[in-house]
A and B are shown apart, each in its own frame.
Chain A
Amino acid sequence: MNPGENNEFDKQLRERFEGFRPKAPDGLWDKIAAQLEAEEPRSVVPMRRRLPAWWMAAAAMLLMVCGVLYWQNRPVPVTYLHVQADAVEAPEKVVVEPSKVVESSKPVETAEPVTEPLDLERLRRVFAKRNRKVEEPSQVAARERQPEEAPAAATTESQPLAMHEPLTSSPGGLLQWRDTLESAAIEIAGVPAIEPLLVLEDEEETMLASTEATRQAFGLSNILNYVVGTVDQRDEKLVTFSNDEEGSLKLDFNFGLAKNKKKKLK
């Protein structure tokens, strides 16, 4: 077969197929469009983005709720002892700082020992208590637990001392001062129950503050327990949080629940 004849054969075939237009099947475009749709990444990405956004919103809401609850039940500052002492009349201030009382009361005793003879005994009682406290610092905490004794002592100590304070400034008009002091004593007696006014060292105050913080109704352990409770719906939780006496956070695991879970999985 010569090349010219072959070329003619190929040419004839080419010409015949040049105008060959078979009908494309119906529905083939739909298949192509569906395949293109599936291959495009846009259909996949939103699904991936939706879940984290949803979870992020839920986590943000949970954090906000916890924050608001914590803020509402935040720990009250312990400085209320000083605040209450300031709120009371001037005589109580003298009790808060007994060293000044000692200095200021000495000239009073020498100036007028007859007018108030009981003051000396009460002052001795105050000093005796103070000395006892220095010797036995651990008893301060016990005194804090028995507040019913402290207010009485504070009021009884404060009244006579308050009566001595102005006398040092004006030793002349004793009678007038006596009247005013008596009226002041009546007013002071009318003051409602005052918080125990204790003379505390700095360390003791911080100790009391820490014990107060551990008694908070909504501390860190409560928040953690609340979060665990939202996840673990069972009556007994796998993990529970609590605070010990020193205020440290404690973790308690319920291993019985973990064992049961493993058995169920098997």
Chain B
Amino acid sequence: MGNRQAQEKLYHAMASKMLGVCLRYARSTFEAEDMLQSGFIKVFRHLDSYQRVGSFEGWIRRIMVNTAIEMYRKNQRGGVSVEIDEVYDDAQQTFSMDALECEDLLRLIQALPHGYRVVFNMYALEGFSHKEIAEALQISEGASKSQLSRARTWLKEKLKQLEGGNYESR
């Protein structure tokens, strides 16, 4: 079937990049693959609704993020939430991410509590505003800002620890 072959080509062209997006939002690789599958089903189902406004890759990426948000909402109904106990607002030290692999950074992001991770991804890596995040996650803008700040501080602290460890190991 010609249509199916075209879909397969599109999948193979975009799957790797979109899996990178899904992995940042997911808690595990298994969850990211599930997210990717659902996202591509939506892409193929709503391919006719693509308005040719903006890039095609951006449209697919947005569908993947929406899929991640839907899964987050579903998990939220389960009532599982983990708070960051220690927040260091005075983490002023600088550090370099060059020494870290993407997989190491990804592992740190996946270790964030679920809500914090989604807010951090949407704001810091996708470029959403706090208003958009609040509407998408059905939280207040203040809560979005607070969770972003805490996630960012927690990540910096963990990166500092990793850098120190690397330094110590050298």
Contacts and interface: CB of A to CB of B under 8 A. Distances in A.
B125 interface: yes
B153 A1 contact: yes
A22 B23 contact: yes
A31 B37 contact: yes
Contacts of A32: 11, 37, 40-41, 44
A74 B101 CA distance: 94
Interface in B132-154: 149, 152-153
B19 to A, nearest CB: 5
B45 interface: yes
Contacts of B51: none
Nearest to B109: A13
Contacts of A17: 20, 24, 102, 105, 125
A169 B12 CA distance: 113
Contacts of B16: 21-24
Interface of A: 1, 6, 9-10, 12-14, 16-17, 20-25, 28-29, 31-33, 35-36, 39
B102 A6 contact: no
B97 interface: yes
Interface string B85-118: 0000101100001001010011000000000000
Contacts of A14: 124-125
Given A29-B11, A29-B12, A13 B97 contact: yes
Nearest to A12: B97
B71 interface: no
Contact of A36 (B7, B12, B33, B123): B7
A35 B34 CA distance: 13
A22 B105 contact: no
Given A12-B97, A32-B41, A36-B44, A25 B33 contact: yes
Is chain B's interface secondary structure helix, strand, loop, or mixed overall? helix
Given A9-B152, A14-B125, A16-B102, A22 B20 contact: yes
Interface of B: 4, 7-8, 11-12, 15-17, 19-20, 23-24, 33, 36-37, 40-41, 44-45, 89, 91-92, 97, 100, 102, 105-106, 123-125, 149, 152-153, 156
Contact of A28 (B37, B45, B124): B37
Contacts of A31: 37
19 contacts: A1-B149, A6-B152, A10-B152, A17-B20, A17-B102, A20-B102, A21-B16, A22-B16, A23-B19, A24-B19, A25-B33, A28-B36, A31-B37, A32-B37, A32-B44, A33-B7, A35-B37, A36-B4, A39-B41
Contacts of A12: 97
Contacts of B153: 1
Contacts of B23: 22
A25 B149 CA distance: 34
B17 A21 contact: yes
A136 to B, nearest CB: 87
B22 to A, nearest CB: 9
A228 B20 CA distance: 68
A131 to B, nearest CB: 92
A24 B35 CA distance: 12
Given A17-B105, A20-B20, A23-B16, A29 B41 contact: no
A104 B143 CA distance: 126
A24 B12 CA distance: 9
Given A21-B17, A24-B15, A28-B37, A33 B4 contact: yes
A39 B11 CA distance: 18
